[in-house]
């Protein structure tokens, strides 16, 4: 980092020009890290809007989050950034109580059990657990307490661990809905040590999976209270706007509607080739490459690989990134005033076309105030290895399917005339860090990129999904690149 008593480093920083390709959160944070030490920064975004997976839309005058609606509190990195940007007073916790589970074979919809970890219960005979897995499932899960602990603590697959210890009903009815809703993944593909740190160690120590969950739950109670996720009054788009304003204050040249077509080496530097904005209005410097001493690629994996493949051998195979669609409905439905399913619903995989529903006017007080008696619900479609059921539908058909799913998940007969407005958003979700092999894959990508001087890569495909992973990763990668430019 440049210090006040380092005029030579400050002068050297001013000679650098870093081009950031991509205006999602990773790109915005990386650009800020470079700009705040005095480097000249140009940020290029192919679309007309910044933010990436953070998207803001409007439904009948109500600003809504059409992408990420909250941030995980773990690590404290996102909250620290929000505080730095002057948004501390806008941070709010979710409301509305817990979520429900729908699609339970042979049983009615029910609230998700309390005291569980990724759906794994500490007590299979607990009433809210038993109503989901039945007596048969409860007794099978109880066998976990009786099994010898000879091979405990060595199962990497969360789904296989749960199934072997507690049976398929716990895996399929409790754990699978959570992993599908949180990670868009099957529990068999989820890495236990990544998704539930400390679970394997506790299991080995205690001797049972239920006992391990109980111990970890007790340990969590001893920590400072607080929601696992938080949101912003007015929506997460406020974070994007605050970052944009900060970049402008630092003198960053932000260009939206500008697509990068190629990165080329020019000795130790880079030529960043860009496409015309449009044939009618190509822009003053369209087609003229930008010269840069450093480049940070902050796009989604497919476009990032196209740009860096020629310069980074050993990237390995591309990961499968599911396409997710979120359909938000504005409803005139007084029957939803009683919040029949709390803050939302998760579904047993295969039981519904939607994987989850969020009742936004129950979950967020600021949304409820803005809706003025109406209701907003968000439905998520698509998962790992499973295309969104809305993918091939036009907007009207997608809205109709979402309304039908909302009726089923909320337990209320909603009619087409009650649908006042709808919004549809599609985005590619990077492979979650929690998938087996993802940590090693990302480490190999990082090693390969680091070997190419003057090049950095940020974003969910190398950091993992979620702001809590993207933000600190972007800070670290930008710090590595700027250090190499200033000291090497």
CB atoms under 10 Å from CB of 68, counted, come to 23
Indicate whether 194 and 330 sit together in one domain.
no
pLDDT > 50? residue 224: no
Indicate the pTM of the whole model.
0.91
* Rounded distance between C-alpha atoms, residue 98 and residue 186, angstroms: 22
Range picked from 179-188, 273-282, 285-294, 303-312 for highest mean pLDDT: 303-312
Q: Give the structural domain span for 449.
A: 7-53+236-318+436-487
Q: Same domain for 328 and 472?
A: no
pLDDT at 286 over 60: no
* Number of domains within the chain: 3
Question: Locate tokens 């990082």: which residue?
Answer: 446
Residue 463's CATH number: 3.50.50.60
Q: How would you class 430 by CB atoms within 10 Å of its CB: exposed for 0-12, middle for 13-18, buried for 19 or more?
A: buried
pLDDT grade, residue 254 (50/70/90)? very high
Q: What is the pLDDT of residue 467?
A: 94
- How big is the chain by its Cα radius of gyration, in Å? 24
Same domain, 216 and 185: yes
Name residue 185's beta-bridge partners.
none
| Average pLDDT value for residue range 128-152 | 86
Kindly report the CATH number assigned to the domain that includes residue 172.
Answer: 1.10.3110.10
310 and 459 in a single domain? The answer is: yes
- Hey, what are 471's tokens? 């933000």
User: Of 404, 428, 452, which closes a domain?
Assistant: 428
């Amino acid at each position: 980092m440049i210090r006040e008593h380092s005029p030579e480093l400050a002068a050297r920083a001013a000679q650098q020009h870093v081009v950031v390709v991509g205006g999602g959160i990773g790109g915005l944070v990386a650009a800020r890290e470079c700009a705040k030490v005095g480097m000249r920064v140009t940020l290029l975004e192919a679309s007309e809007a910044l933010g990436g997976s953070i998207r803001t839309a409007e439904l009948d005058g109500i600003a809504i989050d059409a992408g990420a609606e909250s941030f995980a509190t773990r690590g404290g990195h996102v909250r620290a950034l929000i505080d730095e940007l002057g948004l501390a007073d806008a941070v709010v916790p979710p409301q509305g109580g817990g979520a429900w589970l729908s699609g339970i074979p042979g049983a009615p919809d029910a609230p998700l059990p309390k005291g569980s970890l990724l759906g794994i219960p500490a007590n299979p005979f607990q009433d809210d657990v038993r109503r989901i897995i039945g007596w048969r499932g409860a007794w099978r899960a109880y066998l976990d307490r009786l099994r010898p602990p000879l091979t405990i603590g060595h199962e990497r697959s969360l789904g296989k661990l749960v199934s072997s210890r507690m049976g398929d009903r716990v895996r399929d009815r409790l754990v699978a809905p959570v992993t599908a809703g949180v990670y868009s993944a099957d529990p068999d593909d989820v890495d236990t040590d990544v998704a539930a740190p400390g679970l394997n160690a506790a299991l080995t120590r205690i001797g049972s999976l239920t006992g391990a969950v109980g111990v970890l739950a007790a340990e969590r109670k001893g920590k400072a209270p607080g929601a696992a996720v938080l949101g912003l009054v007015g929506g997460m788009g406020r974070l994007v706007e605050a970052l944009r304003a900060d970049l402008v204050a630092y003198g960053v040249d932000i260009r939206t509607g500008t697509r990068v077509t190629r990165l080329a080496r020019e000795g130790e530097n880079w030529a960043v080739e860009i496409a015309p904005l449009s044939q009618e209005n190509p822009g003053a410097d369209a087609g003229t490459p930008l010269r840069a001493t450093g480049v940070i690629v902050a796009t989604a994996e497919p476009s990032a690989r196209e740009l860096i493949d020629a310069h980074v051998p050993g990237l390995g195979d591309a990961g499968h990134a599911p396409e997710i669609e979120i359909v938000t409905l504005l409803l005139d439905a007084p029957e939803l005033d009683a919040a029949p399913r709390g803050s939302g619903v998760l579904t047993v995989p295969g039981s519904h076309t939607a994987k989850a529903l969020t009742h936004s006017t129950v979950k967020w007080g600021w949304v409820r105030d803005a809706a003025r008696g109406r209701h907003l619900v968000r439905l998520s479609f698509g998962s790992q290895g499973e295309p969104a059921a809305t993918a091939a539908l036009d907007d009207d058909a997608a809205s109709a399917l979402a309304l039908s799913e909302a009726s089923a998940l909320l337990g209320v007969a909603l009619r087409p005339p009650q649908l006042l407005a709808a919004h549809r958003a599609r985005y590619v979700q990077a492979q979650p860090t929690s998938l087996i092999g993802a940590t090693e894959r990302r480490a190999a990508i990082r090693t390969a990129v680091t070997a190419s001087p003057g090049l950095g890569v940020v974003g969910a495909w190398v950091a993992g999904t979620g702001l809590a992973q993207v933000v600190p990763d972007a800070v670290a990668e930008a710090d590595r690149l700027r250090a190499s430019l200033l000291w090497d």
